[in-house]
Amino acid sequence: MLSRVADALFWMSRYLERADHLARAVDVTFQIDLDLHGVLANPVELEWNALLSLLRQSPPQVREGEHAVAAVQRWLLLDGANPGSVMSCLKRSRNNARSIRGSISPAMWRELNKLHWRLSDTALQAGVAESPHDFCEETQMGVLLFHGVCEATLTHDEGWHFIQLGRYLERAEKVLRILDSRFGLLERSESADLPISNLQWGAVLRNCAAYESYQRLYISRVEPERVVEFLLVNPDFPHSVRFCLSRIMQSLTEISGRLPDRCDDEMVRTVGRLLNDLIYLDGGVLDGAGVHPFLGNALARCARIGHLLQQQYALH
């Protein structure tokens, strides 16, 4: 397939996944913010700033008469001036799709387009000031619907695999970043208040759409070590880093047409090693001081994979 098409499919999917994660994160932060009001003096500082720093964004300008939290929500969800906002990601995804709309199924284009128009609705956007929930849910459902349509209507050939690469690489990075940022936060605060910790680690799970699946597996309170284990190495949960990496490996294999045991290029090698590190993760890493460095290292390797992909397939 055309390199330009492969590139656009990858980014269409990656921006969409980014929008999905951000919408979920804003919604989860909004909910936990309400919960923490009862137990902490300044939850806004803590949670919204944590989210901003996770996204590597500085706090936005607050408009006259605007609540600080509302400003963050507007900035992250709607603001066209923020290239990382949900609307901006969606626009970029749609623009990529539009540039190659002949290479995706008409139903996929239609769903993406419908999502764009739904989220552009002024009433829905105005509602964000009071609660971002409807907007965030609409975003997440739209993304799920798009991928459902993609799964069912697009031939699972090379192009489809580039869509998977964009989706799972973005997801792996986001999950790693969420964990990484939570550990960063913990290292800086002394309070290990149990209910608060429970809420916050619960939020980590919710950020990865993992709360119920976690409960089902462990049937216990939210334990930080288990959360990390679940999100890093669970083989079957679609938002675990290991799951993402094995999907990336599969798609790379299909795209290159190589047998998985012939790891003679750097990209396959990088993905394979990270995947193996997750599969054979040393138990000590999970409950010691080793977690945070491991996460940082994994993030760097994901960035490397993205870079190699661009180099190898997007030849412009």
Partner 1 sequence: MAPHSTFAERAAGATVSGGLFADYELGAAYDEMFGPQAGAKVMPRPHYQPLAERLRQTSPEDFRRRKAMTDLSMRQDGVGFTVYRAEEGIERVWPMDPVPRIIPAAEWRQIEAGLTQRINAINLFLWDVYHEQHILRDGVVPARLVLQGSSFRREFVGANVPRRIYIHVCGTDLIRAADGEYLVLEDNARTPSGVSYMLQNRQVLKRVFPSLFNDYDVLPNDDYPAALLDVLQYIAPESVPHPTVVLLSPGMYNSAYFEHSFLAQRMGIELVEGRDLFVDGNRVFMRTTRGRQRVDVIYRRIDDDFLDPLTFRADSALGVPGLVNAYRAGTVALANSIGTGIADDKGIYPFVPDMIRYYLKQEPLLNNVETFRPEIPAQLSHVLENLEKLVVKRVNESGGYGMLVGPASTKAQREEFRAAILANPRDFIAQPTIQLSTHPTFVDGRLEGRHLDLRPFVLCGEKVTITPGGLTRVALPKGSLVVNSSQGGGSKDTWILADRTSPSGNGT
Residues from 3 through 62 that contact partner 1 (CB under 8 A) = 3-6
Which structure tokens are listed for 262?
A: 């012939």
Candidates 60-68, 111-119, 134-142, 218-226; binding stretch for partner 1 (CB under 8 A) = 111-119
Are the beta carbons of 111 and 142 closer than 8 angstroms? yes
CA atoms within 13 A on the CB side of 77: 31
* Distance set, CA 52 to CA 48, 68, 133 (Å): 6, 13, 18
DSSP 265: S
Q: What is the C-alpha separation between 267 and 247, in angstroms, rounded?
A: 14
Minimum distance, C-beta of residue 237 to partner 1, in the bound complex (Å): 30
Q: What is the C-alpha separation between 97 and 112, in angstroms, rounded?
A: 8
Candidates 33-41, 108-116, 204-212, 265-273; binding stretch for partner 1 (CB under 8 A) = 108-116
Residues from 132 through 171 that contact partner 1 (CB under 8 A) = 158
Q: Which of 40, 57, 70, 98 binds partner 1 (CB under 8 A)?
A: 98
Candidates 16-24, 31-39, 96-104, 203-211; binding stretch for partner 1 (CB under 8 A) = 96-104
Q: Find where tokens 């969606």 sit.
A: 90
Minimum distance, C-beta of residue 304 to partner 1, in the bound complex (Å): 20
Q: Find where tokens 């986001």 sit.
A: 174
Q: Is 103 in the site for partner 1 (CB under 8 A)?
A: yes
Q: Which of 37, 63, 67, 114 binds partner 1 (CB under 8 A)?
A: 114
Are the beta carbons of 68 and 76 closer than 8 angstroms? no
Please say which residue, 138 or 287, places its beta carbon nearer to partner 1. Answer: 138
Q: Nearest to residue 280, comparing CAs of 224, 233, 227, 226?
A: 233
Please say which residue, 6 or 78, places its beta carbon nearer to partner 1. Answer: 6
Minimum distance, C-beta of residue 306 to partner 1, in the bound complex (Å): 16
Q: Is 316 in the site for partner 1 (CB under 8 A)?
A: yes
Q: Is 2 in the site for partner 1 (CB under 8 A)?
A: yes
Classify the phi-psi angles of 21: left when phi > 0, otherwise alpha if psi is within -120 to 50, otherwise beta: alpha
Q: Is 117 in the site for partner 1 (CB under 8 A)?
A: yes
- Footprint on this chain of partner 1 (rule: CB under 8 A): 1-6, 95, 98-103, 106, 109-110, 113-114, 117, 158, 255, 313, 315-316
